[in-house]
Amino acid sequence: MAGKVVAMSKKKASRGGSQRFSGNGAAAATTKWVGQPIRRKEENRLVSGKGIFVDDEKMPGMLHIRFVRSSYAHAKITRIDVSKAEKFPGVVCTLTGAEIKRQVQPFIEIGPGGAQKIADYPLAADKVVFQGEPVAAVVAETRLAAEDAAELVEVDYRPLPPVVTAEDALKDESILHPAMGTNQKTFKQAAHVVRIGRLHFHRFSSTPLECNVILATWDPRSGDIEYHCNNTFPSFASQFLAPALGVRIDQIHMKSFDIGGGFGIKITSYPYMAVCALASRKAGGRAVKWVETRIEHMQASAHGNERTFLDTRVALDKTGVILAIDSKHVDDCGAFPRYEPLGCVIWAQVLPATYRVKNVRIDMHQVVTNKCPVGPNRGYSRMQHLWFMERVIDICGQALGIPADEMRRRNYIRKNEMPYKTPNGCVYDSGDYASMLAMAKKLVGWDEWKKKQAAARKEGRWIGLGIGSTLDSGTNNFGQARIINPDAPFSGQSKVGIVKLDIYGEVVVSMGSVPQGQGHETTAAQVVADALNITPALVNVRPGFDTAHNAYTGHTGTYASQFAVTGLTAIHGAAMKLRKELSRLAAWKLQAKEQDLEFGVGGQGPEVRVKGRQKAINYWALANLVNVNNAGMPESLWDITLNCRHVFHANFQIPDVKRKYGNLTLTYAAQVHAAVVEVDRETFQPKILTYACVDDCGKAVNPLIVEGQVHGAAAHGIGAALLEDCAYDADGNLLTATFSDYTPITAMNIPDLMYGHMESPSPFTLNGAKGMGEGGAAPVHTICAALQDALYPSGVIIDDSHNTGDSLFRAVQKAESGGYAGMVRVEHRRASR
């Protein structure tokens, strides 16, 4: 029932932006296949059971590993005894934290100062800091024996007091304090100042169908470590693992084939990868496999960041335009920073959200607590901040009596202001948020619902209309890490693509990405088909990732909404290099001028031919000339390899670390969602009556894949808003370690989604595409906005991102007893402007 609207916005010249897209100098090919909603190439393989997942892989003599985990959130380990486990039939060896500590270096920390002193080992040695933290491992001939023997490992703990909330953690010394500018003068000029009390963005996660799986072999002969695993950022993992394990990066062979979803959460599996390699070494070089169980995944893989927003002040002019925001944010990263503190800075990519506000001061803190460490989770770190900004917009709108749509219209960055430079130096490439909002409103029937809402209110019904505007900033500049740690030795962004002609003339593509369902094989084939004027069916894309293909840099992985930009531009660059080589070869063989040649598909497959004449040479013959039949080739053509590698570089600078200023991301896809939600007067259950997603990711390389990603992201966000919560009790026990308690969203919870698509091409990328797929948790903003609208007359302030019938029941009770008094305070001033 998708009401599909496509609006095209014309590609406009870049105004004032420092970056323009520059390809590799070759003329852009036609876009016959790019932009087509073709079916995914990988579909048949996956739905007919031919996918190859890590757990499908078996190796001769393969062993199985089982972790022994802490049941405490915070405790001193007083004794570990593995002797009974080691005697269990089938057990090959065990590993303990104390043993591993002697063999490895602690993992690198990205954070500065005190964070550098955190000793993060893959198994806890002296002390555990979250429930589920691994303390020992048992390696056995079968998985069953490993599980049986793991129960025989005896561990004694002396419990320590746990810290489970950010506010408690803040009582100690906070770790990080990035802040920006000063707003005092602006607040003096404001017509209204709105003060907002504590807001809280809850902890939720991704629930990929396939949990973490690792198959590791540390070959005692070569000293090389082979990993077949589903880590989605293998270059990052290698750079953490090599120094910890004391090997060279080229000794780590990483490969993946098919991956059953990730959404960011699989980036942080490297501590387990280290243990599996050490286990393999101890077992004499036999392969060791670890298949994470769902409970392990829920307890101890990674959760999304939890964030608390305190002491917010908003200055507005008399028309409701926000002049300044001042707030203190506390991010709770769980027991170890690990991939953090990147999340502590990545939100700054979207500092003013979709709004023109010029003055923003965020006093950012990050704390550690006795909970599962956090990791990237679809919408990583930006969604928390965007949710905060959307709450600010709605709360201020309601406080001043300005409707939600009008409040946004007045504050949105305008289309004609693009590319737009944010107060902290980021450049929003393109976008037309007001038109997206108009489309979303049209899809849900906003104006009619407004009338129905007024009538329903008279009957005592609680119906609310909500808007969620969100940004999916993609292609990150790793230089942003330097805002946290000026000494961090990384910056920019890069990806590799390889396109080659094999011996019989087959077009073969190796991707520098780690796809987990995003359809990379299909979009890569579309781009190469256009570059060579052939069809996607003639392009053979190797599934998965393999360091042996040599298509990687230190940034290689699939994260940060970027493949459509970085991966495809790299592949396009490689295809254009190949085209040039084919053209030179064909010109020699056909005795023609290069400019007289054209590419296409002839009777004998893909070919290069002389325009208007019957002279052509197919790819088989061209590959033959280089690979098996090269006697007589002129020396001027000896540089031709037909194996073309291209590295994409984004035009980034290192941010100004002192001012915390700079361009942190290349593209900004946007989503505007609108929903109508009714809160049942008797059960307090929120029910979504209608829901629309409007998406703008610039030029859609494959609109079918884009729509699928939007649906998936919307489901994830609706689940987060209404169902999914990583809840801990005061002792640090995870209360939602199974799906029965965590309740990930199912088809029964998802409303019919209406979908609208707009295209504001990016001036900074090939074809105007932008990365997308994270969706920025738009439904969390949207549903909170609708609930706020429904319950505002009852005095409720929606102050948490997670809302259930139960929590709304308690919120209405709280409102009735005056519990929200002082939560929002409005100060009207005699405006000086």
Partner 1 sequence: MYAAPFSYHRAASLQEAVKLLQELGEEARVIAGGQSLIPLMKMRMARPAALIDINFISGLSDIQTSKGELRIGATVRHADLENSSAGTTIPIVHDCAAGIADVQVRNQGTIGGSLAEADPSGDWGTALLALESSVICAGPDGQRTVPLEDFIKDAYTTVLAHNEVVTAIQVKIPPKHSGGAHLAFKRSAPVYPTASASVQLTMEDHHMCKDARIVLGCVGLTAIRAKEAEKALQGKALEEKNVRAAADAARAAAEPQSDMRGSADYKRLLVGTLVKRAIGIAARRARGESVPAGHEYAGR
Binding site for partner 1 (CB under 8 A): 143-144, 147-148, 151, 293, 295, 682-688, 718, 722-723, 727, 735-736, 739-741, 743-751, 804-806, 809-810
The closest of 361, 360, 308, 309 to 333, measured between CA atoms, is: 308
Task: Rank residues 648 and 691 by Cβ distance to partner 1 and give the closer one.
Answer: 691
- The least CB distance from residue 782 to partner 1, in Å, is 12
CB of 134 to partner 1, least distance (A): 16
| Amino acid letter, residue 774 | E
CB 801 within 8 A of CB 784: yes
User: CB burial class (10 A; 0-12, 13-18, 19+) of residue 723?
Assistant: middle
CB–CB of 696/669 below 8 Å?
yes
- Supply the minimum distance, in Å, between the C-beta of residue 781 and partner 1: 16
512/732 with CB nearer partner 1 = 732
Q: Which is nearer to partner 1, 466 or 662 (CB)?
A: 466
- Least Cα distance to 343 among 312, 374, 371 occurs for 374
159/751 with CB nearer partner 1: 751
Question: What is the smallest separation between the CB atom of 334 and partner 1, expressed in angstroms?
Answer: 20
- Measured in degrees and rounded to the nearest 5, phi and psi for residue 674 equal -140, 145
CB-nearer residue toward partner 1: 328 or 687: 687
Cβ-proximal residues to 33 (8 Å cutoff; 6+ apart), any chain: 525, 526, 527, 529, 530, 535, 536
Q: How far is the CB of 715 from partner 1 (least distance, A)?
A: 10
Count Cβ atoms within 10 A of the Cβ of residue 146 and give its class: 0-12 exposed, 13-18 middle, 19 or more buried: buried
Q: Say if residues 817 and 696 touch (Cβ distance below 8 Å).
A: no
DSSP-derived letter for residue 247 is -
Cβ-defined contacts of 491-494 (< 8 Å, 24+): 491/652, 491/654, 492/555, 492/649, 492/650, 492/652, 493/555, 493/562, 493/566, 493/648, 493/649, 493/650, 493/652, 493/666, 494/553, 494/554, 494/555, 494/566, 494/647, 494/648, 494/649, 494/650
User: Residue 160 or residue 750: which is nearer to partner 1 going by CB?
Assistant: 750
Instruction: For the chain, state the CA radius of gyration.
Output: 28
Closer CB to partner 1, 460 or 634, in the complex:
460
Q: How far is the CB of 67 from partner 1 (least distance, A)?
A: 12
Using an 8 Å Cβ cutoff, are 765 and 327 in contact? no
Give me the amino acid identity at 669.
A
Instruction: Let me know the angle formed at the C-alpha of 303 by 298 and 304, rounded to the nearest 5 degrees.
Output: 150
Smaller CB separation from partner 1, 540 or 804? 804
Query: In whole angstroms, how close is the CB of 783 to partner 1 at the nearest point?
Result: 9
The distance of closest approach from Cβ of residue 739 to partner 1 in the complex, given in angstroms and rounded to an integer, is 6
Q: Output the smallest distance, CB 240 to partner 1, in A.
A: 28
Strands 359-367, 322-332: pairing is parallel
Cβ-based nearer residue to partner 1, 48 or 740 = 740
Min dist CB 144 to partner 1, Å, is: 5
CB of 554 to partner 1, least distance (A): 36
Distance CA 354, CA 466 (A): 16
Q: Among all chains, which residue has been given the structure tokens 């859609």?
A: 700
Instruction: Closer to partner 1 by CB, 66 or 361: give it.
Output: 66
Shorter beta-carbon distance to partner 1: residue 209 or 628: 209
